Amino acid sequence: MFIPFLINAQNAESQKTVDPESDIKYPQFQFKGLLQARYLESFGTNVDVSGVQHSTGEVTQSSFDIKRMRVGLNTKLSEATEVVILVNLADFKSDPKGKVLENAYGKYTFNKYIALTGGQFRPAFGIEELVPVDIIKSFDFSNQYYEFGKNGWTSFQIGASASGAFDIGKIPVSYAVSVLNGNGKNQEMDNDNGKQYSTRWVFELSKVRKINLGLNGGIGKRSDQKVYALGADITSDFKLTDRFTFDLQIEYKQGTNHNLYFSLPVDSRTSNVDDYQMRGVYFLPNLRYVVDYKKLTSLELSCRFESFDNNYKVNSNVRKTYTPMVSLEFGKAYLGRIEMGFEIDRYDKNIPDTSFYNDDLFLIQLQLRL
């Protein structure tokens, strides 16, 4: 909620015509907060709540956890200029180096056709990059989102971006073009002279059924090695009745896993970074029923299916993840939310004493946002 600091109050009985902009005083401030608290229980054989298998059998299989405790401030300095800050205080529970600070950027909007963003932000490269984690239709982002984040395409990155919207005939189109350091958030500087260039284009194919097609592409250099990423996605939202709605997300991504390549000892990897590639696809259907009974706003049922392989050319080990979830919404726009369900992982090959191991994780998550 923006809180404008209005110095002069207009006389309610005055009939004078005034410029609406003359009544708007800057700066304006919008404070935000998010709490995600969880109870976790692993039913995997000797697999702890973080997903790591322990052959010794000494493992923590149930725990309470604070996933996120975010505090944010959006400051509108003028009609065209804003500054956004977001921190996750839950990162202090472990080593906070390279963590805590998430968004730290400024944005200047010239018009609907172009806006410039600079600082640390989430570059547009798929569905999930444009949706806050507190309103997604599952417990958390997909496996591919985090892996592509490690490789500098998604999640919080440092760089600059241009974005906007226009029409091609009767089809509304939005775009974003970004140039990034590509080595993650909260870094003192780029760790090489390479940069990563990415773009996203979204075509609104149907306004009635809210069908959008997204196309993503990126190229760059990491330590003098050429890298790439690409993706395509589609979203739709159908109103079945006055109370029932059904929405669907489908997303595919593929790209160089240079993060994995450079993490391996030189003598244990091939000489070509193109040999190390990742790819994945997920389907996320969600059924929403509007309840509006006392404090309960809606009931939602979702089940994301994801297939992801972080190294499908050299050492393939497909991870299939099923995430069935039921969600109770209290208040508007997920002001309060209680979620319950499972994250079920199945690997082609189980590797003992690693996170590449079959697991059944039960979750109850409480979410409060402002």
Positive/negative CA dihedral, 177, 180, 183, 186: negative
Number of Cβ atoms within 10 Å of the Cβ of 123: 30
The per-residue pLDDT for 22 is 58
Give yes or no for residue 348 having a pLDDT over 50.
yes
First CA to last CA distance, the chain: 9
CA angle 236, 332, 321 (to 5 degrees): 50
Chain centroid to Cα 6, Å, comes to: 35
Asked if residue 27 has a cis previous peptide bond (ω within 30° of 0), the answer is yes
Looking at every residue in the chain, the average pLDDT score rounds to: 91
Contact status, residue 170 vs residue 164, Cβ threshold 8 Å: no
268: nearest Cα among 311, 322, 225: 311
- H-type helices in the chain, by residue range? 143-150, 258-263
Residue 46: name the closest of 36, 56, 35, 34 by CA.
Answer: 56
Looking at per-residue pLDDT, the higher value among 143 and 57 belongs to 143
Give the CA angle between residues 270, 271, 273 to the nearest 5°: 85
Give pTM, 2 decimals: 0.89
Query: Which two structure tokens, joined as six digits, stand for 20?
Result: 């609406």
Which tokens is 243 given?
Answer: 């109370």
The DSSP letter of residue 19 is -
121 and 161 in contact (C-beta within 8 Å)?
yes
> Phi and psi dihedrals of 352, rounded to 5?
-60, 150
Residue 335: CB atoms within 10 Å: 15
18 pLDDT above the threshold of 90: no
- Mean of pLDDT values over 92-113: 94
Q: Which residues contact 345 (CB under 8 A, 6 or more apart)?
A: 51, 319, 320, 321, 357, 358, 359, 360, 361
pLDDT tens figures, 235-291: 999 999 999 999 999 999 999 999 999 999 999 999 899 999 999 999 999 999 999
Please give the Cα distance from 250 to 123 (Å, whole number).
Answer: 19
